[in-house]
Amino acid sequence: MTAPMCKIGVVSDDARFGHFQLSGGRFDEAAGMPIAALVELRRYESIIETIAEALYKRENVNRQRVPRGFRRSFDLRVSAFEDGSVIPVLERVAPETSLDVAFHDYFERARDVLLDELKHFEELGRFSSRMPGAALQKIGAFGSSLSKVEVIAIADVPRVRNVHLDYDYRQRLSQGFTSQTYEDEAVLLGQLTGLDSSGHKLVIYLAEDGLAVAGSFSDQALWPRLREALGYQQRAPMIAMSVRAEYSSTGDLQKILEVYAIERALPEVLSTRVAELAALSSGWYDGDGKKLSSTALDGLEELLLSLVDANSSNVAIFPRPDGGVQVEWVEEEYEVEIDPDGTVVAYALSKDREDESERQFPANTRAEKIVAWLIGAHHD
């Protein structure tokens, strides 16, 4: 069946995802949408996705990542073009997902935050703390493909919030965020490798990025939790740390400015099991058995974090005599073996599995990719 083409006409407000209009220059000179300007629609969509993701993380502080399928649930389409310059009608396809995003409307809220913050910047020359730092670079590039006489106008459905991004306004946006650092709140996932009580300094190692980040904290009440997380003679546990951080204009994490909270990244039953495995000495298996490698333990923690995100963490975990780890699902026909060098072999043993039932993943493969293959889901 051939998909319907975009129509020309008027679309009711009930179907819209806000209002979007391009005018001036090319948009007044001839009918149709210039191909070169389509990038602005994608930039608009990408900004909303970034803000929505930040809203989710702020309200779910125990989640380092948004759930798989979060961004795919935001399917924005150009369904029509209305008369008057170029007015693409944006409609959101209802997501086929069990995620709670449908109940919290993160993308609708993100659109409204964007409009509010653009008005705030228009009036005061800066954004408020509501604007996620991760969106600033994208906002700075918004409208960069347009000429001096071309304008983007965006609004919510009732047109209570509306902004006109003319050339002067776009210049202020781009100049404000091309060469500066910015601050943003974040949840960092890693291991505490350095701590200084007198100077209130710390260092956290972010395994996924292979990056050690220094920072500071002012709340002395955090000291017992930080000291416990350092690990000392034993392996430092994986922690989730809520922080205010400084980023470069390209989005690279520079330093931690403040620590708000710290907690174990894994549920207690899983973090306790990882600690037990890390404490095993050589010879634990009837006089044989190697001490579990730090690489295998790192891979195990990354896997468990992804399983928690996927609501699939009812597992049993066993050490292997070679220094690796084996994970078995209690109620599912899945198994994972993590070799001492980080290589992963995953098994999906169900008879209903139509594709391959065994797959090897090289060391440093993202855990989300392994879990996505294992449970038969697609990975963002």
Please state the rounded mean pLDDT for residues 334-358: 86
* pLDDT score at 3: 40
Instruction: Categorize the per-residue pLDDT at 379 as very low, low, confident or very high, splitting at 50, 70 and 90.
Output: very low
Is the predicted pLDDT of residue 41 greater than 90, yes or no? Answer: yes
Span of 4-18, 85-99, 164-178, 322-336 with lowest mean pLDDT: 4-18
Among candidate residues 145, 176, 207, the one where a domain is terminated: 176
- Do strands 182-196 and 87-93 pair parallel, antiparallel, or not at all (unpaired)? unpaired
Please state the rounded mean pLDDT for residues 216-232: 87
Alpha-carbon gap, residue 110 to 116, rounded angstroms: 10
Instruction: Categorize the per-residue pLDDT at 230 as very low, low, confident or very high, splitting at 50, 70 and 90.
Output: confident
Instruction: State which amino acid sits at residue 317.
Output: I
Is the predicted pLDDT of residue 378 greater than 50, yes or no? Answer: no
| pLDDT more than 70, % of the chain | 86
Relative orientation angle of helices 294-309 and 268-278, to the nearest 10 degrees? 170
Alpha-carbon gap, residue 249 to 237, rounded angstroms: 31
Tokens of 356: 């391959």
Tokens of 154: 């965006």
Please state the rounded mean pLDDT for residues 3-18: 59
Is the predicted pLDDT of residue 39 greater than 60, yes or no? Answer: yes
What length is written for the chain?
380
CA distances from 353 to 295, 303, 329, 334, 378 (A): 30, 21, 16, 11, 15
Q: Does 166 map to a domain? A: yes
Is the predicted pLDDT of residue 84 greater than 50, yes or no? Answer: yes
228 with 147, same domain?
no
Among candidate residues 116, 145, 176, the one where a domain is terminated: 176
Max avg pLDDT among 62-66, 81-85, 318-322: 318-322
Alpha-carbon gap, residue 263 to 243, rounded angstroms: 12
23 with 121, same domain?
yes
188 with 97, same domain?
no
77 with 64, same domain?
yes
CB 284 within 8 A of CB 319: yes
* pLDDT score at 5: 41
* pLDDT score at 283: 92
Residue 326 domain boundaries? 268-374
Please state the rounded mean pLDDT for residues 141-148: 90
Alpha-carbon gap, residue 65 to 57, rounded angstroms: 7
The residue among 294 and 310 whose pLDDT is bigger is: 294
* pLDDT score at 339: 96
Tokens of 7: 């129509």
Does residue 303 sit in helix, strand or coil? Answer: helix
* pLDDT score at 80: 86
Half-sphere exposure of 277 (CA within 13 A, CB side): 27
157 with 301, same domain?
no
Tokens of 353: 């599995």
CA dihedral defined by 100, 104, 105, 109, rounded to 10 degrees?
-140
Instruction: State which amino acid sits at residue 378.
Output: H
Alpha-carbon gap, residue 74 to 72, rounded angstroms: 5
59 with 123, same domain?
yes
In the chain, the number of structural domains is 3
Q: Does 1 map to a domain? A: no
Is the predicted pLDDT of residue 337 greater than 70, yes or no? Answer: yes
Does residue 116 sit in helix, strand or coil? Answer: helix
pLDDT tens track for 90-122 = 998 776 555 555 546 889 999 999 999 999 999
Q: Does 379 map to a domain? A: no
111 with 257, same domain?
no
Alpha-carbon gap, residue 314 to 307, rounded angstroms: 9
* pLDDT score at 183: 78
Please state the rounded mean pLDDT for residues 302-309: 88
Q: Does 380 map to a domain? A: no
Please state the rounded mean pLDDT for residues 257-271: 90
Please state the rounded mean pLDDT for residues 227-243: 81
- Which residues in 328-348 are b (16+ Cβ under 10 Å) and which e? ebeeeebbbbbbbebbbbbbb
238 with 292, same domain?
no
Max CA distance (Å), the chain: 83
Domain containing 188 — which CATH number?
A: 2.40.50.140
* pLDDT score at 100: 54
**Positive or negative torsion for Cα 114, 120, 126, 128:** negative
* pLDDT score at 153: 94
Q: Closest by alpha carbon to 182, among 240, 119, 143, 139?
A: 139
127 with 27, same domain?
yes
237 with 276, same domain?
no
* pLDDT score at 141: 85
Among candidate residues 264, 282, 314, the one where a domain is terminated: 264
Relative orientation angle of helices 38-59 and 106-124, to the nearest 10 degrees? 110
* pLDDT score at 1: 36
| pLDDT more than 90, % of the chain | 36
Alpha-carbon gap, residue 272 to 304, rounded angstroms: 12
Is the predicted pLDDT of residue 213 greater than 50, yes or no? Answer: yes
* pLDDT score at 6: 46
Instruction: Categorize the per-residue pLDDT at 321 as very low, low, confident or very high, splitting at 50, 70 and 90.
Output: very high
Does residue 33 sit in helix, strand or coil? Answer: coil
Mean pLDDT, all residues of the chain: 84
Relative orientation angle of helices 106-124 and 167-176, to the nearest 10 degrees? 100
Residue carrying the six token digits 């979060």: 70
164 with 274, same domain?
no
Please state the rounded mean pLDDT for residues 124-145: 85
Q: Does 237 map to a domain? A: yes
69 with 143, same domain?
yes
DSSP annotation string for 207-255: TTTTEEEEEE---GGGHHHHHHHH-TTSPPPPEEEEEEEEE-TTS-EEE
* pLDDT score at 177: 61
